[in-house]
Structure 1
Amino acid sequence: MNSFVSASTVEAKPAAAEDVVRLVNVKRSFGDTAALDGISLSVRKGEIFGIIGRSGAGKSTLIRCLNGLERPDSGEIRIEGRDIVGLAENELQPVRRRIGMVFQHFNLLSAKTVEENVALPLKIEGIAKSERLARARELLDLVGLADKAKAYPASLSGGQKQRVGIARALAARPALLLSDEATSALDPETTRSILALLKDINGKLGLTIVLITHEMEVIRGIADRVAVIDAGRIVEEGQVWSIFGNPESAITKSLLAGIRPQLPEHVAARLSSAGGTEAILSVDLAGPQAQGALFADLSAAHPHSFRLVHGGIDHIQSQPVARFFIAVPTRDPGLKDEVEQFLTARSARVEVLGYDTDHV
């Protein structure tokens, strides 16, 4: 292990209850449009916190407020306990040095070598050349690019450029790393390698990371907690496994549609609001109940009460998360209600999607 990793691990040991970021009722409008409409959240030291939403949800404005580039109209933004709202530009500078930024399009200087790009924040601070280049080499070793120190950005792949961007963001030993859509320009395999690197850095350095993204796979890959933002408001927040297992808001369900089991299209196409031979139910479970003998117990309690249409079990943050679709015969008017009650009593979220008009 190199000296940089071991020293930083000692320096950055997290205090679990300490908030690095705390927002209280933050509002920011542009004309009549509310980009942020009362955002409140906290990010604990050493945590990877995801903020996800569609384009135009307010993510970009939020991240610009976090690093002081955008001033909110009202509310508090505390970084390591200090409210940065209202600070003069010269007062913001030391706060910004505690914040590293990783960008979607890398923002590397093409005329400078890799090590010069990494060392640039330290040059701006006036750190001696020998010290800043030594720091750059340590960081390039950390991100797996020690052999690229003298190369220029044009010779690097997209994933390598992002690794350089991450190394540069760590140059000034920040307390907080902001990742602004850092993987959205990368292919899936490279994305996984960058997420693994961020997770590794978080573990080794105890670094607090806030991920801004529109990709649920990114959140699933490394985040501890997630906030879903829509129209400038947080519509859902919690542990990643819990949100994935039991999404409540329509926007969260929509964002998850690509990575959670969905009712097969040919079944969904023939559903009606009433009058079918079977009621189609979605059943969402998270935690221990998701891998228990739920359907075996249901069959024992109510024989011939359902058939399994589609679904599966996943594991997120070592927690089982499941979604199933079942069909309940409508021949007995009370059977659907009995099945729903049985499932909800066992912590399942149940929704009647409609009635199958064609199944025999």
Structure 2
Amino acid sequence: MNSIVSASGIETRPGEAEEVVRLKDVRRKFGVTAALDGVSLSVKKGEILGIIGRSGAGKSTLIRCLNGLERADSGEIVIEGRNIAGLAEQELQPLRRRIGMIFQHFNLLSAKTVEENVALPLKIEGVAKAERLKRAQELLELVGLSDKARAYPSSLSGGQKQRVGIARALAARPALLLSDEATSALDPETTRSILALLKDINRKLGLTILLITHEMEVVRSIADRVAVIDAGRIVEEGQVWSIFGDPQAAITKSLLGGIRPQLPAHIAARLSQKGGTEAILSVDLSGPEAQGALFADLSAALPHSFRLVHGGIDHIQNQPVARFFIAVPARNPALAEKVEQFLKARSARVEVLGYDTDHD
């Protein structure tokens, strides 16, 4: 396969040039514990990728390996076409300037003004004062804080502090923005405003963003794709609407529990694996099938074959995603089987959750 040599002298394979980040079989152990256990993924230019997992899943180690603060034991970590694994600290410095970072607790310097905090990365680089202050003013306008340039962090709200953090992360015109639980310390309303800002920056600047989070709602709001990490491994990856509509891994289903329709607890509590008067089925659909006349068609084909228990339709990335729970009379196993076959023939994912032991 022919390679391409860019103006910077970096050699890449065809199709690789659009990748800002590429990880291949990255491993990192602490003692006998594998924090990263063969992680492979990529992030394309202008994309927002959400990496989600529980505490201890490996998210923090992954982000520290990406910015060179942690060294992988093995594997490739390629940033803008260059494998950073094994680079000396001096070689990492210019690469780090291509990576912006925003943090959960803002990490602003209390003794410096907002303007000085934003300009700090440029000061460290040796950029002239007039030029770095001009850049700071541009970025404060971008994040909606041009009137706070001379204020100190102590006078700002949490959301304003995070906006300053975002402006500072953009100061050196990075190719990649890393967000490490950047909204976890914020209230829901402020979180929505920060996510809207990140999406706006992504759209205006074409900036590639990698979000590390444990909040599915964050991923749902702005990410293009999501990767689910568990015990140091990527267990599921894909477009957000697809993963939300049809999660495969148990951890993904658990993380989605708070924002996907769930069987009401009082019904779930009385389910058994045999007996009962009704079989309770979960029905998942995504894409065009989620907006069709599925249940009307089912009623016409098999009258009196089911009742709707719970559920609803959401829209993610402009795609309909639906989840419903239906009850099917258990006294006629053949009928329940026909209902299941009918739904599956129309691209629904169907699971028999159990049998309701208390419904008349």
Whether TM-score is above 0.5 comes out as: yes
Deviation at 1:308, TM superposition (A): 0.2
Aligned to 1:7: none
- Per-residue CA distance 1:112-133 (angstroms, 9 max, x = gap): 0000000000000000000000
Q: Which residue of 1 aligns with 2:309?
A: 309
Deviation sequence 1:310-345 (CA, Å, 0-9, x none): 000000000000000000101211122211111112
Structure 2 equivalent of residue 340 of structure 1: 340
State whether residues 99 and 178 of structure 1, in contact with CA within 8 Å, keep that contact through their aligned partners in structure 2: yes
Match runs of 1:165-180 below 5 Å: 165-180=165-180
Shift of 1:17: 7.0
Please tell me the residue identity of whatever aligns with 2:236: E
Matches within 5 A, 1:18-57: 18-57=18-57
For residues 170 and 98 of structure 2, the distance between their equivalents in structure 1, rounded to whole angstroms, comes to 10
Question: Take 2:349 and 2:51, find their aligned partners in 1: how far apart are those partners?
Answer: 24
State how 1:141-290 maps to structure 2 within 5 Å. Answer: 141-290=141-290
Give the drift of 1:292: 0.5
Distance 2:300 2:77 in 1: 54
Report the secondary structure of 2:166's partner residue: helix
Q: Distance in 2 between matches of 1:341 and 1:25?
A: 40
Q: Secondary structure at the match of 2:107?
A: coil
Deviates more, 1:264-273 or 1:332-341: 332-341
Alpha-carbon shift at residue 246 of structure 1 (Å): 0.4
Distance 2:27 2:348 in 1: 36
1:293-322 Cα distance to aligned partner (Å, 9 max, x none): 111111111111110000000000000000
Q: How far 1:222 sits from its partner (Å)?
A: 0.2
Cα drift, residue 16 of structure 1: 10
Number of corresponding residues: 346
SS of residue in 1 equivalent to 2:105: coil
Q: Amino acid of the residue matched to residue 26 of structure 1? A: V
**Contact 2:110–2:153 (CA<8 Å) still a contact in 1?**
yes
Corresponding residue for residue 62 of structure 1: 62
SS of structure 1 residue aligned to 2:61: helix
Number of the residue aligned with 1:117: 117
Query: d(CA) in 2 for partners of 1:35 and 1:118?
Result: 33
Q: Percent identity?
A: 86
Q: Normalised by the size of structure 2, how large is the TM-score?
A: 0.95
Are 1:89 and 2:85 an aligned pair?
no
**SS of aligned partner of 1:85:** coil
TM-score after normalising by structure 1: 0.95
**Structure 2 counterpart of 1:54, which letter?**
R
CA contact (8 A) 1:122 1:172 kept: yes
2:325 maps to what in 1?
325
Q: Deviations over 1:69-112 (max 9, x none)?
A: 10111000000110000001111111100000000000000000
Partner SS for 1:28: strand
Give the aligned CA root-mean-square deviation in angstroms. Answer: 1.0
Consecutive aligned runs of 4 or more in structure 1 exceeding 2 Å deviation: none
Distance in structure 2 (CA, Å) of the matches to 1:16 and 1:119: 33
